[in-house]
Structure 1
């Protein structure tokens, strides 16, 4: 059976996105017993702590998407570390679990950013399938885009408060399940020791056996 590393719905507060569809997303994933990884911005945690707790209570991973959605490539090592830890503190205060993964804002990563993040004991995450739901594509377009690009080991990127994501998710999940894919949170496939195999991220964002 193939594995797809969960659905990553990220929280980017600097954009005008709230929490209006959070419970709907939780309910949809729950219908299919899918556990996803949610990358949240620290500022979003400040504004919607109840939603963050709801995600954790539903069994989803709540991971780090920076504290203020800054451009990490423009920050010093010390500034990156401070930003990452500030977000970790906020998430841990709400969920009781300290994040081990981070999705750098804007998908920006280079050796400097990766080294700074790994100095905190965390692992940076990328994706290889972008749903482009933030462009307000129709549910059909989102579904075709995702199901046509997914391969074993893929990480699929979605966003909360995107216009048609809740509409598209059921069809995407059903299609991929029929193709033999299994949905798991990201940490279950890439962190050391998981499935007795370590993974690394290649330049496309795909998770590959180390």
Structure 2
């Protein structure tokens, strides 16, 4: 696997003055150039390697969380869980178990709002509350943020960047939240996957314990390596094209 440069800028805690962001962007060579000048999150990654990332959003319910972790362990797969603060506070043992088993934990806001309707101060509060909860439970600050409902604007992405977060979307939506059958979800993923894909699942999906093993087995059969999002993406020296694909300079 090609070497990815890890980001050494961790999210800042609430109340810390953000100094030197502009200097870091200029001197550090970080690039966030988009053709139409709009800021975009990362939907997928440009790569020749057969690597993909799957992810789970957790906001409601935990009936399937431990079974999901057991299935991931069975297939020796690590993935990324995006957690809402009220979920993390309600199920702290699950948060600890997710991290203990080697999975990546991302930020999914504090109250699951449409972040585009918030002020900058409210955005910071949503991000920092959840980041602090995750750090207190896992010992690590999250570095990835997924906006609730996939809703974003320039102000949100700029705020996330200032706090040290990469904003992550997805290139394949499993639609497991629509109560599709396991067969439909398996076909949907395996027929659309390509190198650099980021797949969206939900931890409380009705059929997750049925479709997840089949998808993992199918991906492995097709020669894909499944990694956490933090290992799939580039952390420096990249740009994002108009489709949301992250491309190394």
Task: Output the TM-score relative to the length of structure 2.
Answer: 0.77
The 2-side partners of 1:201 and 1:83 are apart by: 25
Partner of 2:235: 192
Cα distance between partner residues in 2 of 1:55 and 1:187: 15
- Mapped to 1, the partners of 2:130 and 2:196 lie a distance apart of 27
Q: Who is 1:169 aligned against?
A: 212
- Report the CA distance shift for 1:201/1:169 in structure 2 as closer, same or farther (over 3 A): farther
1:28 aligns with 2:75: no
Shift of 1:208: 3.3
Go from structure 1 to structure 2 and tell me whether the alpha carbon gap of 1:137 and 1:190 turns closer, same or farther (over 3 Å shift).
same
Q: Compared with structure 1, are the counterparts of its residues 27 and 89 closer, same or farther at alpha carbon in structure 2 (3 Å cutoff)? A: same
Which of the pair is proportionally richer in helix?
1
Cα deviation 1:158-209 (Å, max 9, x = unaligned): 001111111001111111111111101001121426xxxx555545444433
Residues 127 and 204 in structure 1, CA contact (< 8 A), matched pair in contact too: no
Aligned to 2:248: 209
Q: CA deviation at 1:65?
A: 0.3
Matches within 5 A, 1:41-56: 41-56=84-99
Change (3 A) 1:201 1:31: farther
- Superposed, 1:107-186 pairs within 5 Å as 107-186=150-229
User: 2:112 aligns to what?
Assistant: 69
The alpha carbon displacement at 1:120 in A equals 0.6
Over alpha carbons, which structure has the higher Rg? 2
Give the secondary-structure state (helix, strand or coil) at the position aligned to 2:56. strand
Q: 2:212 & 2:239 partners in 1: Cα distance? A: 27
Aligned length: 201
Alignment match, 2:146 = 103
Tell me how large the CA RMSD over aligned residues is: 1.4
Q: Secondary structure at the match of 1:176?
A: helix
Tell whether the 8 Å contact from 2:84 to 2:108 is kept in structure 1 after alignment.
yes
Map 1:73-88 onto structure 2 (within 5 A). Answer: 73-88=116-131
**Structure 2 gap segments, 5+ residues each:** 1-48
Distance 2:191 2:238 in 1: 24
TM-score when normalising by structure 1? 0.91
- Is 2:133 aligned against 1:90? yes
Q: Equivalents in 1 of 2:159, 2:138: separation in Å?
A: 25
Unaligned segments of structure 1, at least 5 residues: none
